[in-house]
A and B are shown apart, each in its own frame.
Chain A
Amino acid sequence: MNRTNRILPVYTGDVSGACSALYELGGMVVIHDPSGCNSTYNTHDETRWYDQDSLIFITGLVERDAILGNDNKLIDDVVDAALELHPRFIALCNSPIPFITGTDFTAICKIIERRTGIPTFYVRTNGMHDYTVGAGRALVEVAERFVNGDGDTTVPHTLNILGATPLDFFQKDAVAGLYDFAHGAGFDVVSCWSMGNGLDELGRAAQASVNLVVSSVGLPVAKALRRRFGTPFVVGTPVGGFMNELAAALCYSEESRTDSWPCRDARVSSADGSCCVVGEPVAAGSYAAALERESGVPVRVICPLEAPQELRVSGDLWVDGEEEVERALAEASFVLADALYAPVCPPSARLEPLPHLAFSGRNCYGQLSSEHAHA
């Protein structure tokens, strides 16, 4: 049964994904959820919570207000907090109970925006999807509302990094590494979605001549920016021996104005599944390509997340739940995955840790060498 996990954790959910994507943008994110649900996000999914303030709150929804449809409390509380704290925008996130009761978030956002004068939008979540979905939707909302320009004034050899959140890039030098890669490829970085930059930098994203999608979180916003400004995008995470191809793809896409999917197209998947990478598919595909370059052995990507099928090569497996992961790994002799996958790897397989915050949460700190641990 693919709904049960005997021993594996679940990935970060869509609500936490949305919060993570919007964390540094100066807005106020409100999760319509009961008191007690807030610690899940800030304990396990948010590495910045202790050191960096961000206006992320829950409403403390109670049974009576949910059943009787007392949306006024939600509206009043959000308006009060916004008028006190002056966020750049307000984002509302849904959760299982308001999803069941059919709370009309779009209408509520309009009311709040009218009362506060602050841009207010709904990030379509319900707690039942993966972080890739929630974070992706949140960034699309930002792209639609806050990025200006006409696409005709792009600056050559510049790019936006799309899909960088601590959920996929939690090591302390991860974002710096993305910048280093961009500079090494001959590109200046206009904005990084969304770590280390605020709303103003993201608002200038239309200036970039190409977009670099470093995780599947960034794919929806890449498509939105392509639609709005015609900016081509390149999909891949700069890792190991794959970086040269990724850099070449950036130059090609900037020149040709076409999209490139090197994390998919620069590799073949393993037919027998003896070598596997498990995880978020853009990073996993990039690692697979790098491993293939190094070893000459095809590598299968196993994606346990809700992510677009267009990232998949024939032979890759998109799986749902612990049972399917275990089955997909049955023939593996080498596995690159978060260490918490160990219980479902064959005993004879070699598991190389690929720590992933969105999977093992703070347990992934122990998988890092000390110089790479998050600050």
Chain B
Amino acid sequence: MLKRLGPSVVSAAETDDAPLFPSKLEFNPPAHGVWNIVHIGMLVPEAHQIYVCAINCMRGVVLTAAEMGASDRFSCVVLKEEDITRGTVEEITLAGIVDVLRKLETRGGLPPCAMVFPVCTHHFLGVSMSRVYRELEREFPGIDFVRGFMDPVMKRRLSPDQRLRAVMYDPLSPCNATEKLVACLGSDFALDADCELRDVLRRGGYGFVELQDCDTYQEFKGLARAETLVATYSNARYGISKLAKRLKRRYLYLPSTFSYEEIEAQYHALHEALDIPLPEFKEEIARCEDALESLRKELGNVPIAIDMSVHPRPLGLARLLIEHGMRVAEVYMDGVNSEEETDLGWLNEHAPDLQISSIVLPELRIASRQRSYDVLAVGQKAAWFTGTSHFVNMVEGGGLWGFAGIRAMARLMQEAWETEKDARDLVPRKGWGCVSCF
């Protein structure tokens, strides 16, 4: 067991104990590319989001919508102090949502789908949201009401993000399946254009559709026809498996990974389930090796910092890069994804000096963000913490997947090293990949 390097930093060799860091006060680095529930909900075409909360809580979500130019798809019901002291939160919630919908009706028509987001307060005051939805469905029978929640106080097995990735698909109704149609759902981003999965499925005679392909609500509802549902993003695992069970569809969880073995296993799973041809693994891996070798030559001994917001598998990426002779010095993360336990074990043994730093602990607010040497950061938070202008500007995997995903990451890192970016301008922007007011 190696040393603890500081209250907010541990070495990879010291991460046997979970959680990595004690629960203390928290701060929030000014890197805002990670999507929140507003961004995610906007993926459902024509859906209108309605939040019911106090103004301090409302501010973040209402301005998320405004910053992405989507204020016309967002409304709110403001809870006030007297609602709490007089016990009228349930009535205001119901009356407020009805009022919003009536106003929408008179100004262009009702939306086909209303995503409703009550908050922590509703839990604590025992508001019957079942009654609220019952009344709403009676009043507006043509609207699909999605039962969202923005309740970060409820630290349960599933986060609001994970639950939204489940309930947002509730409007999909059981129907006859379209043979040989695969739908990839649950991710914020469509799979990268170069991803070989599309070709493999096409060669197997399969159609492939993603949520991001839908321009209308009807097209969204049509996703239910897919015979096979695929989730590639870990936060969508619960939601898409639940959807597949409800629609009685084949379900495959094929997370984006940096392990050749895991990708091969995923293709074997696809082959077994869909009888698709397997890609030429040797050829695909050889191309990845070329890309990684090119990156290694470019970087030499440059220290690399990775953060957990860039991809669900930051430790897997660290392992891949170290295995290929590169120098990963820091990983910024506050918890280990259970899918990364093997990678953590490997790093424990092979990279004991790798520093794992918290992202939120208070002392990091005043820690120096200047390095006397150049750093290549992979992720916005790592860029901010290391003060570098060489960084991969991406979040949540960015749609990278499979062998092509590994090559794309190598290419992005190489580009980031070759070309500086303005972190001050880019990382405070909310919702990477979304329209931004900046």
Chain A interface residues (CB < 8 Å from chain B): 1, 3-16, 30, 34-40, 42-45, 49-51, 53-64, 66, 73, 77-78, 80-81, 84-85, 95-97, 99-101, 125-130, 321, 340, 343, 360-363, 365-366
- Please indicate which of the listed interface residues B23, B60, B121 has the most CB atoms of chain A within 10 Å of its own CB: B60
Of chain A, the residue at the smallest CB distance from B65 is A9
Q: Are A63 and B154 in contact (CB under 8 A)?
A: yes
Asked if B207 CB lies within 8 Å of chain A CBs, one says no
CA distance A307 to B349 in the complex (A): 61
Asked if B153 CB lies within 8 Å of chain A CBs, one says yes
Residues of A within 8 A of B324 (CB): none
Q: Are B66 and A361 in contact (CB under 8 A)?
A: yes
Q: How far is the CB of B154 from chain A (nearest CB, A)?
A: 5
Asked if B1 CB lies within 8 Å of chain A CBs, one says no
Jot down 22 A-B pairs with beta carbons below 8 A, ordered by A. Answer: A1-B95, A3-B78, A3-B79, A3-B92, A30-B25, A34-B155, A35-B152, A35-B360, A38-B26, A43-B32, A43-B60, A56-B27, A57-B25, A57-B362, A77-B25, A97-B153, A99-B81, A127-B56, A128-B56, A128-B80, A129-B55, A340-B71
CA distance A101 to B84 in the complex (A): 11
The answer to whether A61 and B153 touch (CB under 8 A), given A53-B366, A365-B438, is yes
Asked if B365 CB lies within 8 Å of chain A CBs, one says yes
Q: Are A16 and B362 in contact (CB under 8 A)?
A: no
Chain B interface residues (CB < 8 Å from chain A): 7, 23-28, 30, 32, 53-60, 62-63, 66-67, 71-72, 74-81, 84, 92, 95-96, 99-100, 103-104, 107, 119-121, 123-125, 152-155, 160, 360, 362-363, 365-366, 384, 424, 428, 430, 437-438
Residues of B within 8 A of A63 (CB): 123, 153-155
CA distance A4 to B30 in the complex (A): 30
CA distance A38 to B60 in the complex (A): 9
Residues of B within 8 A of A4 (CB): 75-78, 96, 99-100, 103
Of chain B, the residue at the smallest CB distance from A48 is B30
Residues of B within 8 A of A85 (CB): 362-363, 366
Q: Are B80 and A39 in contact (CB under 8 A)?
A: no
Of chain A, the residue at the smallest CB distance from B150 is A36
Known: A62-B155, A128-B54, A361-B63; 4 extra A-B contacts, CB below 8 A, are A42-B28, A43-B32, A50-B424, A96-B54
The answer to whether A362 and B437 touch (CB under 8 A), given A1-B95, A38-B26, A60-B25, is yes
Residues of B within 8 A of A8 (CB): 71
CA distance A53 to B363 in the complex (A): 11
Q: Are B26 and A35 in contact (CB under 8 A)?
A: yes
Q: Are B59 and A44 in contact (CB under 8 A)?
A: yes
Residues of B within 8 A of A101 (CB): 124
Q: Are B63 and A363 in contact (CB under 8 A)?
A: yes
Residues of B within 8 A of A10 (CB): 55, 58-59, 62, 76, 78
CA distance A45 to B63 in the complex (A): 10
Residues of B within 8 A of A55 (CB): 362, 365-366
Residues of B within 8 A of A49 (CB): 30
Q: Are A7 and B71 in contact (CB under 8 A)?
A: yes
Residues of B within 8 A of A38 (CB): 26-28
CA distance A280 to B146 in the complex (A): 36
CA distance A7 to B75 in the complex (A): 6
CA distance A192 to B360 in the complex (A): 31
The answer to whether A5 and B121 touch (CB under 8 A), given A30-B25, A85-B362, is no
Selected contact of B54 from candidates A35, A54, A66, A127, CB within 8 Å: A127
Q: Are A3 and B77 in contact (CB under 8 A)?
A: yes
Q: Are A7 and B56 in contact (CB under 8 A)?
A: no
Q: How far is the CB of A138 from chain B (nearest CB, A)?
A: 14
Residues of B within 8 A of A365 (CB): 437-438
Q: Are A99 and B84 in contact (CB under 8 A)?
A: yes
Residues of A within 8 A of B79 (CB): 3, 96, 128
Q: How far is the CB of B432 from chain A (nearest CB, A)?
A: 14
CA distance A226 to B21 in the complex (A): 48
Of chain B, the residue at the smallest CB distance from A40 is B60
CA distance A7 to B155 in the complex (A): 31
Q: Are A9 and B57 in contact (CB under 8 A)?
A: no
Selected contact of A96 from candidates B26, B57, B424, CB within 8 Å: B57
Q: Are A78 and B25 in contact (CB under 8 A)?
A: yes
Q: Are A66 and B365 in contact (CB under 8 A)?
A: no
Of chain B, the residue at the smallest CB distance from A47 is B428
The answer to whether A9 and B25 touch (CB under 8 A), given A43-B60, A96-B54, A366-B437, is no
Q: How far is the CB of B349 from chain A (nearest CB, A)?
A: 32
Selected contact of B27 from candidates A3, A15, A57, A130, CB within 8 Å: A57
Q: Are A39 and B28 in contact (CB under 8 A)?
A: yes
Q: Are B57 and A127 in contact (CB under 8 A)?
A: yes
Q: Are A16 and B153 in contact (CB under 8 A)?
A: no
Residues of B within 8 A of A12 (CB): 55, 59
Q: Are B362 and A60 in contact (CB under 8 A)?
A: no
Residues of A within 8 A of B155 (CB): 34, 62-64
Q: How far is the CB of A303 from chain B (nearest CB, A)?
A: 16
The answer to whether A3 and B57 touch (CB under 8 A), given A63-B123, A362-B63, is no
CA distance A180 to B28 in the complex (A): 35
- Please indicate which of the listed interface residues B30, B63, B71, B104 has the most CB atoms of chain A within 10 Å of its own CB: B63
Residues of B within 8 A of A42 (CB): 28, 30
Residues of A within 8 A of B95 (CB): 1, 3
The answer to whether A40 and B96 touch (CB under 8 A), given A96-B120, A97-B121, is no
Q: Are B24 and A80 in contact (CB under 8 A)?
A: yes
Q: Are A39 and B66 in contact (CB under 8 A)?
A: no
CA distance A277 to B125 in the complex (A): 39
Q: How far is the CB of B151 from chain A (nearest CB, A)?
A: 8
Selected contact of B121 from candidates A37, A44, A96, CB within 8 Å: A96
Q: Are B437 and A5 in contact (CB under 8 A)?
A: no
Residues of A within 8 A of B123 (CB): 63
Q: How far is the CB of B111 from chain A (nearest CB, A)?
A: 12
Residues of B within 8 A of A129 (CB): 55, 81
CA distance A9 to B362 in the complex (A): 31
